[in-house]
Amino acid sequence: MAELPVADTLARPLRDLRISVTDRCQFRCTYCMPREVFGRDFVFLPRAQLLTFEELTRLARIFAGFGVRKLRLTGGEPLLRRDLDQLVAMLAGIGGIGDIALTTNGALLAGKAQALAAAGLRRVTVSLDSLDDAVFMSLNDAGFPVAKVLDAIEAAAGAGLAPVKVNMVVRRGVNEQSVLPMAAHFRHSGQVLRFIEYMDVGTTNGWRLDEVVPAAQIISEIDHRWPLQPVEAAYPGEVARRYRYRDGAGEIGVIASVTQPFCRGCTRARLTADGQLFTCLFATAGHDLRGPLRAGASDTELAGQISAIWARRADRYSDQRTRQTSRSPRPAPKVEMSHIGG
């Protein structure tokens, strides 16, 4: 299929696709899948509702026809999806796709990094919110220790998936005291630590604006200890603001969706494990692609549906949030992080 670029109502192109392969996760992180909601009785998607690898690959090929060049596999925890390296290999065979990445909690990564890299995975992002075991295990609520995540990061780097990006969600009153220890640990490591402002994705995590530690505060704290200088964005629409240590110890990034929104440069679409297309991380509703896909729609028909959805896109939630959050006592329910894949 020849490339047919499409732009939304704010002239934003479609360049990145995040694919959730499962809504399941073995962690119960308090900012994503709190145990009081995602408990023993929570009903996850049955296997028959998940898109197959063939269906995911078919849709990814159609998205590539619109100019999508980067794919990221997410969840839930994507490595809970059996034989994920087979999907990576299938996606790597799509013409025009130049980058396939994975976001993971790291619990299963050490044993799978080599196979994923061999299949065509280019990059990996690992979540780690503190180096303090008590803090980290309180956050993941699964008794999973820091050491195993660090081992997974080393395994990924050893498999050629370097530099590994390490994501730390910073929440006031919970783990902001871990910012400097995390920075100290990953200086000179060759990996890229990124600090993420605590975001109001979904409605189950009890998000409050006063629990957000602003990115500017994080950068100021680190810069006071180890001087930093800004780095130019690597590509248009890069969400992380990058900084390098002036002493050459590497770089860090901050993702400041709350205090420094980047909606105007957002080129991302999100596909859930059950085939719902979302045009914003903070969306309240998706668009069903699984139905027409399984009803026999042709590639041209599916492309037409996707094109129409993107052309109508006007999402700029983070821009609007900065003005409206404090005035909205009953915000509309948003799709959960575990379902849309972050």
- The full set of domains in the chain, from first to last, is 16-340 (3.20.20.70)
Q: Sign (positive/negative) of CA torsion 171, 175, 176, 182? A: negative
Bridge partners of residue 40, in order along the sequence: none
Q: What share of the chain is helix, strand, coil (3-state, %, to 5)?
A: 35, 20, 50
**Alpha-carbon gap, residue 146 to 94, rounded angstroms:** 36
Cα torsion 212, 215, 221, 226 to 10°: value is 150
Average pLDDT of the residues in 177-184: 98
pLDDT digits (tens, 9 = 90+) for 257-272: 888 777 888 999 999 9
**Alpha-carbon gap, residue 57 to 117, rounded angstroms:** 18
Computed over every residue of the chain, the mean pLDDT equals 91
Average pLDDT of the residues in 27-31: 90
**Alpha-carbon gap, residue 304 to 271, rounded angstroms:** 16
76 has a pLDDT exceeding 70: yes
- What percent of the chain shows pLDDT beyond 90? 76
Higher pLDDT among residues 259 and 122, named by residue: 122
Residues contacting residue 47 through CB under 8 Å, at least 6 positions apart: none
Eight-class DSSP state of 44: P
Q: What are phi and psi of 228, to 5 degrees?
A: -120, 160
Output the pLDDT for position 326: 45
Measured in residues, the chain has a length of 342
Helix ranges (H only) for 201-283 are 215-225
The pair of three-digit structure tokens given for residue 168, joined into one six-digit string: 């730390």
**Confidence band for 15, pLDDT divided at 50, 70 and 90:** very high
pTM metric for this prediction: 0.92
